[in-house]
């Protein structure tokens, strides 16, 4: 009897483990453990055994039954997994096909530069202000120490719509507005980015272009303050290794006036075609606010001093993104615009 | 201003190369465009043609044996004037000329070891060439020695810096002004100018009169010289004029230009025998005619200053002389004019007629001391180089102040503005080098600024001088120490830009100048458009009122470049005039065409509802949800589809337009909208506040109805909303159907209605009667029919 049980156990084990489908496994379960199953039948024959043998065989049968039940449930688990896997395998997709093209928009490179500059100067306590693009001769020139007939007006050939109104040639026009509108004549710290217009159109000039103007008026402001501020500005925009060179120059609304060159970021100052072999690139105009400008706009030059600076936004964008032709900024080819759809690399500001 | 370094070295001793000089001038504020040799050619040598025979295989080439001292070269030459015994300029093998590099060559079978040169080949412009030099090689004087440097013999060994000067430094438009500036840099004194001459016994004031009738002339001096011999100028005068960019004519004309270059004071020479014994200065009469020396008849106006001889206008003051009184080869007697005119008037006239060397100097301003010096210097040179006899006395009209300016400044003033401590001795040293006298009294310096520095009038100007000469590089940058305060910027515009980018649109930057036709497009607003007085082109002569014409131009550019999927936006300004007021309004414009997004098997083409979705997304984001709608209250602009366009209305104010571009204009489907941001943002929105979410479940009911085709979705929704009462929380349309199984004049609309109560769980028993009411109401009010 014992032998018979052990044979049964061996046979059942093989059958369970070799069943490859849920149906086969169930057949095996019924065959051995079902009501009429072989092991069940053995149990039924227990009555024929001697009282001594009965407990021994009984416990053996129970052990075998437990073992087989265990095997069946394990095998069942395995087969179910397999079945699910087979089903999933049929759902296999080509993961190399492209994802959905969620359309990504982009900001115009010049506006990216404006936002970057706004963030920088706002962090230094400046307010961003704006003024009209259709400006009066008074604010564009006269209040900036450029009376009619002044030879420096030649630098800025203008688009007039009447003898008094013109498209502003410089964001400096906003300087006078900010000073005039501040009735308490308190200190001023502003930048003004915007569009400007001059009668000038060639490969390097566009009749419409972006400028940003900075104006700071307070007590005891010196050229050293201007220099320090512009160093932060240029390093943020064109790289921490940039060096600045101040060259005396002339603007009617500042005195002293300086043009600012930055060491060529392409060749590092060795000389290349971008910097015309000089190692320097002219980037900014700046200076200490002319006392006449302060006076004309209601500030006492004996109490207040200040600095102002201005630069071309289009050129900054061209330098930063390696754009070689200014016209690309204004033709707005979608293939061009699409390239400005990612974040800028962070450029850590070091004060 | 082209500076001949040979010329300036007459007045200041310097020994620096031209590049260093140019860079050092740049550091003190005088930029340059170019700096280098006047003749930019290497390996040139004087040679003598020893033999000259015809080339065996040519009817015009010659084969020459040319002695250059240490060897005889075989050179093939095509010039007609080449001949035996000529002294010539030889460019040896390896020589680099402005246009050509000389190599050993073989010309029709004959070896050639160099080139015989013309002056043109050395790089001199055609206008500086004599007739003989235009047609052949240059013939050097026989005295030239073989083996020498021909450039030295021609006295063309000059170096030139082309300065791009700032508008305030009129004083640098002269060799003397340059000498003072260079002297200040290198701490060298400026030498005196030779101005002596003999006068005859006559006095000009006895034979010649001045009549200055306008305050636009502040000084007018005249001298007379007799019996001039007109001939070619000495070489140094010619070459210095050439180096300065001025064409030599004859000794007399050249001297007037030479003196202008030296002093920055333009002179005018009249043929004295064509004058009427006098010179007058007055404003021109309106419509007055004058033939200038370029033989063009000019019509003048009341703002032009003219010189007259009492009878007629004979010159445009400061700009151009008249034809009738010009110096001729036969001229014997000359009247010299040295005067200063109102810079603003000269600028006005010269802009109309001609910008010349003279007008440029008058515009920038001239020191009247120079007027006296220039007229004396001219007499000196005319006596020396034109054998002139100088008539005694000076005809003079002078209202100018010729004394030096005195400016008080303190050391503190200087240091406060520059932001460094410049040692006192260095400050005084700067003034000394500039040629300014200074007296120190305590902390105050009284600086005497010579009249020639017209650009200096206040202490800030002196501070600039200190900064310039002392060196700005000595100033260490720092950040201003100021109270900390938060900065601010226009966050709304930036939010709008971010939102549009999130929606997948590309931002553009377009020109605001368009043509007149475009400026009237995409709007029916009653606006006067603004035109430029002096446009560059007809294509850009008008300020745009709507931003859409700019965007449409960009669309056309892209289509022309085969880019068909265009979804762009711009935040920009529109201009115009309304009821005598200029308006300048901020607008956002959007244009969409082609595919909006794609995935495999699903390509979303832009249609009206896509762009309407963008409008809704934007306005909802800005807080205007529920306050706007599309209406057709006004005429649709003719560039737009009459049945797929509308106005955007916010609180019953029209703030923009939306729709399809008219198929007559755009071949493909193009959709646009524009919103006036100033109008939009003037409508306030409340803050963002949390609304409680109901804890009780909602009940959703679907409703499909058949309605007349012309009923709008908005009408149906409004009706449902009214009928639904307070428990109806939300209505959403999920299907619109026309076609099969539906009458041609009907459409099927399917809505999903959501019911919920704030304080309890709703049951069907409560919702069903409301649904009944809605259905009956729709039937009665809109003639709707329930679809089963």
State the CATH architecture for A109-339: 2-Layer Sandwich (3.30)
Inter-chain residue contact B476 with A224, CB threshold 8 Å: yes
A195 has which bridge partners? Answer: A210
Residue A350 is predicted with a pLDDT of 46
Distance from CA of B441 to the nearest CA of A (A): 21
User: What residue ranges of chain B are covered by domains with CATH 3.30.56.10?
Assistant: 2-38+159-186, 405-474
- Sequence-distant (≥ 6) Cβ neighbours of residue A25 within 8 angstroms: A16, A19, A72, A75, A76, A79
A212 has which bridge partners? Answer: A193, A311
Q: How far apart are CA B337 and CA B305, in angstroms?
A: 15
| Helix ranges (DSSP H) in B657-763 | 677-681, 713-724
In chain B, what residues touch A225 (CB-CB under 8 Å)?
419, 477-480
Tell me the two tokens of residue B163.
């300065």
The string of pLDDT tens digits covering residues B233-288 is 999 999 999 999 999 999 999 999 999 999 999 999 999 999 989 999 999 999 99
For chain B, give the mean pLDDT.
92
Phi, psi torsion values for A338, nearest 5 degrees? -60, -20
Residue B215 is predicted with a pLDDT of 95
3-state secondary structure chain A: CHHHHHHHHHHHHHHHHHCCCHHHHHHHHHHHHCCCCHHHHHHHHHHHCCCCHHHHHHHHHHHHHHHHHHHHHHHHHHHHHHHHHHHHHCCCCCCCCCCCECCCCECCHHHHHHHHHHHHHHHCCCEECCCCCEEEHHHHCHHHCCCCCCHHHHHHCCCECCCCEEECCCCCHHHHHHHHHCCCCCCEEEEEEEEEECCCCCCCCCCEEEEEEEEEEECCCCHHHHHHHHHHHHHHHHCCCCCEEEEEEEECCEEEEEEEEEECCCCCCCCCCCCCCCCEEEEEEEEEECHHHHHHCCCCCCCCEEEEEEEEHHHHHHHHHCCCCCCHHHHCCHHHHHHHCCCCCCCCCCC
Tell me the two tokens of residue A99.
């994802």
The sign of the torsion formed by the CA atoms of B25, B29, B30, B31 equals positive
* Sequence spans of domains, chain A: 2-87, 109-339
Q: Which SS3 state, helix, strand or coil, does residue B482 take? A: coil
Residue A156 is predicted with a pLDDT of 63
Class for domain B405-474, per CATH?
A: alpha beta
Residue B130 is predicted with a pLDDT of 82
Burial class (CB in 10 A: 0-12, 13-18, 19+), B315: buried
Residue B575 is predicted with a pLDDT of 96
Tell me the two tokens of residue B431.
């003034």
H or E element at residue B425: helix B424-434
Taking residues B43-70, report their average pLDDT. 89
The string of pLDDT tens digits covering residues B316-331 is 999 998 888 899 999 9
Inter-chain residue contact A105 with B600, CB threshold 8 Å: no
CB B251 within 8 A of CB B231: yes
CB B407 within 8 A of CB B459: yes
| Helix ranges (DSSP H) in B169-277 | 175-186, 204-207, 235-243, 251-263
Tell me the two tokens of residue B333.
């007697």
Tell me the two tokens of residue B123.
């790089």
- Sequence-distant (≥ 6) Cβ neighbours of residue A74 within 8 angstroms: none
State the CATH architecture for B44-153: Beta Barrel (2.40)
State what percent of residues in chain B have pLDDT above 90.
73
H or E element at residue B616: helix B608-621
Distance from CA of B541 to the nearest CA of A (A): 9
Question: Does residue B339 have a pLDDT over 50?
Answer: yes
A117 touches chain B (CB under 8 A): no
Taking residues B689-694, report their average pLDDT. 84
Question: Does residue B596 have a pLDDT over 70?
Answer: yes
Phi, psi torsion values for B156, nearest 5 degrees? -105, 15
Distance of CA B497 to the CA centre of its chain: 31
A243 touches chain B (CB under 8 A): no
Query: Could you give the count of Cα atoms lying within 13 Å of A191 in the half-sphere of its Cβ?
Result: 28
Q: How far apart are CA A240 and CA A312, in angstroms?
A: 20
The sign of the torsion formed by the CA atoms of A184, A187, A189, A192 equals positive
Q: Is B419 left (phi over 0), alpha (psi -120 to 50) or beta?
A: left
- Pairs of CB atoms within 8 A across A/B: 251
| Helix ranges (DSSP H) in B622-746 | 677-681, 713-724
Q: Which SS3 state, helix, strand or coil, does residue B247 take? A: coil
Phi, psi torsion values for B34, nearest 5 degrees? -155, 155
CB B395 within 8 A of CB B208: yes
Query: Could you give the count of Cα atoms lying within 13 Å of B491 in the half-sphere of its Cβ?
Result: 4
Residue A48 is predicted with a pLDDT of 80
B463 touches chain A (CB under 8 A): yes
Tell me the two tokens of residue B227.
């019996």
Question: Does residue B191 have a pLDDT over 60?
Answer: yes
DSSP assignment letter at B407: E
Taking residues B43-68, report their average pLDDT. 89
Tell me the two tokens of residue B275.
């004058």
Inter-chain residue contact B506 with A338, CB threshold 8 Å: yes
Q: What is the ipTM of this complex?
A: 0.85
User: What residue ranges of chain B are covered by domains with CATH 3.30.930.10?
Assistant: 491-681
Q: How far apart are CA B714 and CA B629, in angstroms?
A: 9
| Helix ranges (DSSP H) in B285-423 | 343-352, 357-364, 368-386, 411-418
Q: How far apart are CA B339 and CA B394, in angstroms?
A: 13
pLDDT tens across the length of chain A (351 residues):
778 888 888 888 888 888 888 888 888 888 888 888 888 887 777 778 888 888 888 888 888 888 888 999 999 999 999 889 999 999 998 888 888 777 789 999 999 999 999 999 999 999 999 999 999 999 999 999 988 877 767 666 889 999 899 999 999 999 999 999 999 999 999 999 999 999 877 667 789 999 999 999 999 999 999 999 999 999 988 888 888 999 999 999 999 999 999 988 888 888 888 888 888 899 999 999 999 999 999 999 999 999 999 999 999 999 889 888 888 999 999 999 999 988 887 665 444
The string of pLDDT tens digits covering residues B534-568 is 888 899 999 999 999 999 999 999 999 999 999 99
User: What residue ranges of chain B are covered by domains with CATH 2.40.50.140?
Assistant: 44-153
A156-160, B403-407, B437-441, B714-718: least confident range: A156-160
Residue B185 is predicted with a pLDDT of 95
Residue A351 is predicted with a pLDDT of 47
Residue B587 is predicted with a pLDDT of 97
**What CATH number does domain B2-38+159-186 carry, 3.30.70.100, 1.10.287.80, 2.60.40.420, 3.30.56.10?**
3.30.56.10
Fold exhibited by the domain B699-786: Alpha-Beta Plaits (3.30.70)
Fold exhibited by the domain B199-398: Phenylalanyl-tRNA Synthetase; Chain B, domain 3 (3.50.40)
Q: How far apart are CA B736 and CA B754, in angstroms?
A: 19
Taking residues B171-176, report their average pLDDT. 96
H or E element at residue B77: strand B72-77
Q: Measured between CB atoms, which of A133, A160, A291 is closest to B533?
A: A160
Please tell me the CATH superfamily of domain B491-681, with its number.
Answer: Bira Bifunctional Protein; Domain 2 (3.30.930.10)
B489 touches chain A (CB under 8 A): yes
| Helix ranges (DSSP H) in B226-305 | 235-243, 251-263
Distance from CA of B532 to the nearest CA of A (A): 5
Residue A203 is predicted with a pLDDT of 65
A220 touches chain B (CB under 8 A): yes
H or E element at residue B163: strand B159-164
In chain B, what residues touch A187 (CB-CB under 8 Å)?
482
Compute chain B's Rg from CA coordinates: 42
Q: How far apart are CA A64 and CA A50, in angstroms?
A: 20
Q: How far apart are CA B678 and CA B697, in angstroms?
A: 43
Q: How far apart are CA A316 and CA A114, in angstroms?
A: 10
Distance from CA of A86 to the nearest CA of B (A): 27
Burial class (CB in 10 A: 0-12, 13-18, 19+), B520: buried
Inter-chain residue contact A331 with B168, CB threshold 8 Å: no
B594 touches chain A (CB under 8 A): no
């Amino acid at each position: 009897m014992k032998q018979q049980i052990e044979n049964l156990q061996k046979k059942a084990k093989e059958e369970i483990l070799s069943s490859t489908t849920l149906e086969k496994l169930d057949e095996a379960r019924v065959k051995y453990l079902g009501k009429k199953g072989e092991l069940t039948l053995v149990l039924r024959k227990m009555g024929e055994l001697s009282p001594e043998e009965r407990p021994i065989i009984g416990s053996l049968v129970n052990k075998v039954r437990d073992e087989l039940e265990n095997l069946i449930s394990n095998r069942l688990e395995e087969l179910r997994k397999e079945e699910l896997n087979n089903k999933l395998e049929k759902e296999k997709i080509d993961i190399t096909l492209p994802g959905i093209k969620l359309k990504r928009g982009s900001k115009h490179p010049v506006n990216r530069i404006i936002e970057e500059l706004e963030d920088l100067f706002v962090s230094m306590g400046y307010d961003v202000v704006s003024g009209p693009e259709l400006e009066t001769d008074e604010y564009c020139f006269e209040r900036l120490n450029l009376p009619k007939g002044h030879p420096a007006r030649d630098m800025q050939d203008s688009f007039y719509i009447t003898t008094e109104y013109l498209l502003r040639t410089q964001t400096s026009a906003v300087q006078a507005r900010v000073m005039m509108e501040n009735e308490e004549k308190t200190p001023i710290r502003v930048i003004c980015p915007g569009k400007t217009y001059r009668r000038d159109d060639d490969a390097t000039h566009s009749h419409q272009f972006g400028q940003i103007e900075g104006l700071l008026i307070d007590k005891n402001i010196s050229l050293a303050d201007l220099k320090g501020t512009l160093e932060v500005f240029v390093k943020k925009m064109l790289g921490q290794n940039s060096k600045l060179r101040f060259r005396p120059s002339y603007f009617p609304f500042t005195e002293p006036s300086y043009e600012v060159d930055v060491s060529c970021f392409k060749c590092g100052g060795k000389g290349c075609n971008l910097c015309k072999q000089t190692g320097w690139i002219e980037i900014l105009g700046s200076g200490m606010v002319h006392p006449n400008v302060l006076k004309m706009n209601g500030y006492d030059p004996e109490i207040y001093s200040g600095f102002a600076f201005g630069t071309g936004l289009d050129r900054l964008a061209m330098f930063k993104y390696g754009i070689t032709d200014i016209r690309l900024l204004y033709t707005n080819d979608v293939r061009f615009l699409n390239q400005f759809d990612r974040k800028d690399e962070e450029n850590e500001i070091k004060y | 201003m082209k500076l001949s370094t040979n010329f300036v070295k007459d007045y200041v001793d310097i020994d620096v190369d031209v590049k260093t000089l140019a860079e050092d001038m740049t550091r003190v504020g005088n930029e340059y465009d170019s700096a280098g040799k006047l003749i930019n050619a290497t390996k040139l040598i004087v040679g003598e043609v020893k033999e000259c025979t015809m080339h065996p295989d040519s009817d015009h080439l010659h084969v020459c044996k040319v002695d250059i001292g240490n060897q005889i070269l075989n050179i093939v030459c095509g010039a007609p004037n080449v001949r035996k015994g000529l002294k010539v300029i030889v460019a040896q093998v390896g020589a680099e000329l402005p246009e050509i590099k000389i190599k050993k060559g073989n010309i029709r079978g004959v070896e050639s070891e160099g080139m015989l040169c013309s002056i043109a080949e050395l790089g001199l412009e055609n206008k500086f060439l004599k007739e003989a030099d235009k047609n052949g090689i240059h013939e050097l004087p026989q005295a030239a020695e073989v083996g020498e440097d021909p450039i030295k013999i021609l006295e063309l060994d000059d170096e030139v810096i082309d300065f791009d000067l700032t508008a305030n430094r009129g004083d640098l438009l002269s060799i003397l002004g340059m000498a003072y500036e260079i002297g200040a840099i290198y701490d060298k004194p400026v030498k005196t100018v030779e101005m002596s001459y003999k006068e005859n016994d006559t006095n000009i004031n006895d034979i010649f009169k001045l009549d200055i009738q306008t305050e636009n002339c502040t000084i007018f001096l005249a001298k007379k010289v007799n019996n001039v011999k007109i001939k070619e100028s000495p070489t140094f005068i010619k070459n210095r004029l050439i180096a300065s960019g001025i064409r030599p004519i004859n000794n007399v004309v050249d001297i007037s230009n030479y003196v202008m270059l030296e002093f920055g004071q333009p002179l005018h020479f009249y043929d004295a025998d064509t004058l009427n014994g006098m010179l007058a200065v007055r404003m021109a009469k309106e419509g007055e005619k004058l033939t200038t020396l370029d033989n063009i008849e000019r019509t003048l106006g009341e703002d032009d200053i003219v010189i007259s001889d009492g009878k007629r206008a004979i010159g445009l003051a400061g700009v151009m002389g008249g034809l009738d009184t010009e110096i001729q080869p036969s001229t014997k007697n000359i009247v010299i004019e040295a005067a200063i005119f109102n810079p603003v008037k000269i600028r006005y006239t010269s802009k109309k007629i001609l910008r010349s060397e003279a007008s440029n100097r008058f515009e920038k301003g001239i020191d009247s001391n120079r007027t006296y010096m220039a007229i004396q210097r001219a007499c000196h040179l005319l006596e020396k180089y034109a054998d002139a006899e100088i008539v005694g006395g000076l005809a003079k009209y002078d209202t100018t102040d010729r004394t030096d300016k005195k400016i008080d400044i303190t050391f503190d003033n200087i240091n406060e503005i520059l932001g460094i401590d410049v040692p006192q001795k260095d400050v005084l040293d700067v003034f000394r080098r500039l040629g300014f006298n200074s007296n120190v009294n305590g902390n105050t310096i009284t600086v005497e600024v010579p009249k020639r520095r017209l650009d200096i009038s206040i202490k800030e100007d002196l501070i600039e001088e200190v900064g310039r000469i002392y060196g700005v590089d000595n100033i260490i940058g720092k950040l201003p120490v100021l109270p900390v305060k938060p900065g601010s910027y226009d966050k709304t515009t930036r939010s709008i830009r971010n939102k549009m980018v999130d929606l997948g649109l590309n931002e553009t930057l377009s020109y605001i100048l368009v043509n007149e036709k475009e400026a009237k497009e995409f709007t029916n607003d009653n606006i006067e458009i603004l035109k430029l007085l002096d446009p560059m082109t007809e294509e850009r002569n008008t300020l745009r009122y709507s931003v859409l014409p700019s965007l449409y131009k960009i669309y056309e550019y892209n289509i022309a470049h085969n880019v068909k999927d265009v979804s762009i936006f711009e935040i920009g300004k529109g201009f115009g005039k309304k009821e005598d007021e200029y308006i300048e309004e901020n607008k956002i414009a959007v244009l969409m065409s082609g595919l909006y997004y794609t995935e495999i098997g699903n390509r979303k083409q832009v249609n009206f509802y896509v762009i309407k979705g963008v409008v809704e997304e934007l306005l909802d984001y800005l807080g205007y949800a529920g306050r706007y709608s599309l209406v057709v209250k006004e005429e649709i602009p003719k560039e737009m589809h009459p049945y797929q366009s509308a106005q955007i209305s916010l609180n019953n104010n029209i703030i923009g337009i939306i729709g399809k571009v008219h198929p007559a204009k755009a071949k493909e489907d193009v959709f646009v909208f524009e919103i006036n941001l100033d109008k939009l943002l003037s409508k306030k929105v409340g803050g963002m506040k949390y609304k409680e979410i109901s804890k009780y479940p909602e009940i959703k009911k679907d409703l499909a109805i058949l309605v007349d085709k012309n009923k709008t979705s908005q009408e149906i929704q409004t009706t449902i909303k009214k009928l639904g009462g307070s428990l109806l929380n939300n209505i959403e349309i999920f299907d619109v159907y026309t076609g099969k199984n539906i009458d041609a004049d009907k459409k099927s609309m399917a809505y999903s209605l959501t019911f919920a109560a704030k304080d309890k769980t709703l049951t069907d028993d409560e919702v069903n009667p409301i649904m009944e009411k809605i259905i009956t109401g729709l039937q009665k009010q809109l003639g709707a029919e329930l679809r089963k």
